[in-house]
Amino acid sequence: MARKEDKQPQYLPLVVKARLHTGGRDYEKIKEELKGQGFTCKQMKGMVREGNYFDGIVLYLSKWNWDNHESWHLYNWDDKDDKEVMLGIYEAEQYHPQAPYRYRDNFEKFQKDWISGEYDPGMTFTFKDSEVEVLEVLQEEVDNIDHEAVKRQVAAAEDAQYQKRRKQRQRRKQASKGSRYHRKFF
């Protein structure tokens, strides 16, 4: 019998220590990249400031298979970089989809929540591959998930939901046949 400590984790992401290169993008460049996506001029200027705060910082980032390894996810940072990270994330909050209800133009509330540990981004903060310089790999990706078994379980769950809805429709159909109200005109 396998002991609990001998059991391998099913999944662990790739975790690295990396330097970010997010600066150097100006308003016009971001405007061209995001053309037609509905961002305002003020939001795009916030993106420039955000990139400048994160530029050159060494952070801990992760890559996950659930997004097909498309981007680096902010994993952690050293205490000495807390202020820059806070300011960068505040700028990101300015174009967050829920920003009007959260921290838009309210740095005092954001800073209070950040310092008290109550801040929840409500999003995954990501960086593009081109913005990341990997300095050190801290944890290799571990993927012990049987993906075929997961697909079978998902298919079985979807089929069970379909069968449940089908039975509900049949019950409603049977109940309507016994109704005392009849259609007079066909």
pLDDT of residue 151: 83
Q: For the whole prediction, is pTM greater than 0.75?
A: no
pLDDT digit of tens for each residue in the chain (186 aa)? 455 555 777 888 999 999 999 988 888 988 898 888 888 888 888 899 999 999 999 999 999 988 888 999 999 999 999 999 999 999 988 887 776 678 888 899 999 999 999 998 888 889 999 999 999 999 998 887 777 877 888 888 898 898 888 888 887 777 666 555 555 555
Q: Rounded to 10 degrees, what is the CA torsion of 122, 140, 67, 96? A: 30
Beta strand 58-63 with 14-20 is: antiparallel
Q: CA 107 to CA 54: how far, in whole Å?
A: 18
Both tokens of residue 167?
A: 């039975």
pLDDT of residue 175: 67
Neighbour tally for 5: CB within 10 Å: 5
